[in-house]
Amino acid sequence: MSLLEIQDLTVALHQDGTETDLVRGISYTIEPGETLALVGESGSGKSVSSLAVMGLLAKSLNVTSGSVTFDGQDLLSLSKEEMRKIRGRDISMVFQEPMTSLNPVRSIGSQIIESIEENLNLTRAQAQSRALDLLKEVGVADPERRLKQYPHHFSGGMRQRVMIAIALAADPKLIIADEPTTALDVTIQAQILDLMARVCRDHGTAMVLITHNLGIVARYADRVNVMYGGRIVETGRARDIYTAPRHPYTDGLLRSIPRLDQDRNAPLRPIPGNPADPFTTISGCRFHPRCDHAQAPCRDMVPNFKNGLACHFPLEVAQKEALS
Amino acid sequence: MSALLRIEDVSVHFPIRKGLLQRQVGAVRAVDSVTLELKKGEAFGLVGESGCGKTTLARAVLRLVDPTSGSIWFDGTNISGLTPKGLAPFRKRIAAIFQDPFSSLNPRQKSGQIIAEVLQVHNYDGDIKERVAELLSICGLAPRFADLYPHEMSGGQRQRVGIARALALDPELIVCDEAVSALDVSIQAQIINLLEELRVKFGLTYLFIGHDLSVVRHLCDRIAVMYLGRIMETGTAEELFDNPKHPYTKALIDAVPAPNFDNEDAPQAEALKGEIPSPLAPPSGCVFHTRCPIAFDRCSKVVPDITRLGKTHAAACFALSNSEAPS
């Protein structure tokens, strides 16, 4: 049984009496211990779909159809109170900005201990010692002293380590990490991603890694969902997506980034136009206005998602070679 | 090719004042004794992590901060000593593009006005409306964009307006501070290509500040790596990336996440340990020695000089000349 199974999830924004779909019927599964990356640009629905899984959607957003099954349990049918118990204990989240996700007026220790006591039946002393162990595990030096300090005493990278310690507090089965290193420097980013990969491996924790960085995807994810305009357009093993993309959007993304493993003079081939605006009506495939391969059916029919791909005219390997 | 911009032994220190008398109790050494030369027509990259001083150095070139010591020469004139009036003609010749096109464009002005304002301030003597349309079209925007406010445009379009504004007075040097960092991947490539096209078309010189190594490598002919206010290594893009000499440059390159499909369990090349020290109290000797994997005794005591390694390649590291150092 999959750890998480999402079926046909649709999330809509209600604003000024109109309803706009931000996530348009996505389905995917994640297996225990697996790292799945969600890749996409602004407005692709990668963050909103994950907030829906966590039951953390803003008031103006709601799930209009679909199901989210976690460990055999239908999350969407749970009460707020029941969902709150799942969050933190079974599923936890790491956000992009560690400064805004920590309480600035409470010590780091009290915030870690809160999340331990909330989810595990431990005495205060046991919770204290677990907090120490967690800080050590995420590589915070001098943890006894650090527990008494406040978020502003910590650098960005250190705060993100604390967030990971809090996320690990109850030994969850799934961590959803939304751009966990986007705000960090490159050398610190590598430290944090290696740390996350290590703790997931050691604890058998599954991870949904939301990112726009294709290098991170290639390096740290087992599988990838490429999202565009609220839909998953391609899914597959990280290696296959990176070396032999079949969807023209995935291919376009890969051609848009300068890469250190390529000739520096290799021209970038950007995707023309702008990412699909959720508020604009686009018929058929939402990528068709920007797609070099679009033909008549792309304008009229939404491509079905099958065999890990939603495209009327997927790229053939031979065709790709001819193009490059 | 002659030097268009010469940064000579420039330091920028920000005083820290305390107490009733606001006595200076210390200084943030944002930029420390930096010497660089940009040739006419080249794209020069400055890379480094937060707090390394790359933005402060760029602001010093734009005369938005005054260097504490050293001089900045533009086309043969020392612009670091000029009065605002003396500086005026140089303001036309040096332009800037910033990271966040949303906060660098006035939200209450239409993009046409934003560009026209620059022309008016500098007493442009042609038809301003025509020039605005021309600039927009150079940057790939239809004339109707002149009537749009920043919030009515996408991030990529706003950055194009920012570039059009920078081009308004036919500058020779453009300082690009993280000019593509805030953009979506597909849009970032459009803007990179536009910047490259404009450089060729107008013979522009770029001082390009960035933290994304692959972008800087793609766009820049020569690159300087900065750490805690100092230059660690300079060289052509090829020299720095194919044959990095300074341990910090190597660590930066290794930290870029890259695919590793053949050996999936191997960790990313040993990530650099520790944190960037505070520029308030930079380490003694070589500022990098606290995180350096090959540091030895001398590194904590003496500041290494920049050593020439070739015609264009130079680095500040004792390990390059010292036999007691591991290679």
Provide mean pLDDT across the span A130-143: 91
In the predicted model, is pLDDT for residue A319 greater than 60? no
Which chain A residues are Cβ-neighbours of B217 within 8 angstroms? 258, 260, 264
A298 pLDDT band, cuts 50/70/90, is very high
Determine contact: A157 vs chain B, CB below 8 A: yes
B204 secondary structure, DSSP code:
-
Which chain A residues are Cβ-neighbours of B215 within 8 angstroms? 258
Across B68-200, the runs of DSSP E, i.e. the strands, are 69-74, 77-78, 94-97, 173-177
Question: What's the pTM?
Answer: 0.89
B103 pLDDT band, cuts 50/70/90, is confident
What is the rounded distance in angstroms from the CA atom of residue B238 to the CA atom of residue B113? 42
Residue among B203, B183, B194 nearest B140 (CA): B194
Q: Are strands A223-228 and A35-39 parallel, antiparallel or unpaired?
A: parallel
CB neighbours of A26 closer than 8 A, spacing ≥ 6?
A: A6, A8, A9, A45, A49, A66, A225, A227, A230, A231, A232
Instruction: Please list the alpha-helical segments (H only) found in chain A.
Output: 46-54, 80-89, 98-101, 108-119, 124-137, 143-147, 156-168, 186-203, 214-220, 238-243, 248-256, 296-300, 317-323
Whole-number pLDDT of residue A235:
97
Which chain A residues are Cβ-neighbours of B259 within 8 angstroms? 215, 218-219, 238-239, 242, 261
Exposure string (b/e) for A276-293, b if CB count within 10 Å is 16 or more? Answer: bebeeebebbbbbbbbeb
B267 pLDDT band, cuts 50/70/90, is low
**Closest CA–CA distance from residue B74 to any residue of chain A (Å):** 29
A211 secondary structure, DSSP code:
E
B81 — phi, psi (to 5°)? -105, 0
Whole-number pLDDT of residue B265:
56
What is the rounded distance in angstroms from the CA atom of residue A37 to the CA atom of residue A218? 9
In the predicted model, is pLDDT for residue B324 greater than 50? no
A183 pLDDT band, cuts 50/70/90, is confident
How many CB contacts within 8 angstroms connect chain A with chain B?
A: 134
Whole-number pLDDT of residue B269:
59
Token digits of residue A280 = 């604009």
Q: Tell me which residues of chain B, numbers 222 to 241, contact chain A at a CB-CB cutoff of 8 Å.
A: 237-238, 241
CB neighbours of A311 closer than 8 A, spacing ≥ 6?
A: A233, A234, A246, A247, A248, A285, A303
Q: Tell me which residues of chain A, numbers 26 to 65, contact chain B at a CB-CB cutoff of 8 Å.
A: 41-42
Q: Are strands B3-18 and B173-177 parallel, antiparallel or unpaired?
A: unpaired
Q: How far from chain centre, in Å, is Cα A323?
A: 31
B186 to A41: CB separation less than 8 angstroms, yes or no: yes
Q: Look over chain A and give the mean of its residue pLDDT values, rounded to a whole number.
A: 91
Q: Look over chain B and give the mean of its residue pLDDT values, rounded to a whole number.
A: 91
What is the rounded distance in angstroms from the CA atom of residue A106 to the CA atom of residue B241? 44
- Domains in chain A: ranges and CATH: 4-90+172-270 (3.40.50.300), 100-169 (no CATH)
Provide mean pLDDT across the span A304-318: 87
Find the CB nearest A190 among B211, B213, B271.
B271
Q: Tell me which residues of chain A, numbers 188 to 247, contact chain B at a CB-CB cutoff of 8 Å.
A: 188-191, 193-194, 197, 212-216, 218-220, 238-239, 242-243
A190 to B253: CB separation less than 8 angstroms, yes or no: no
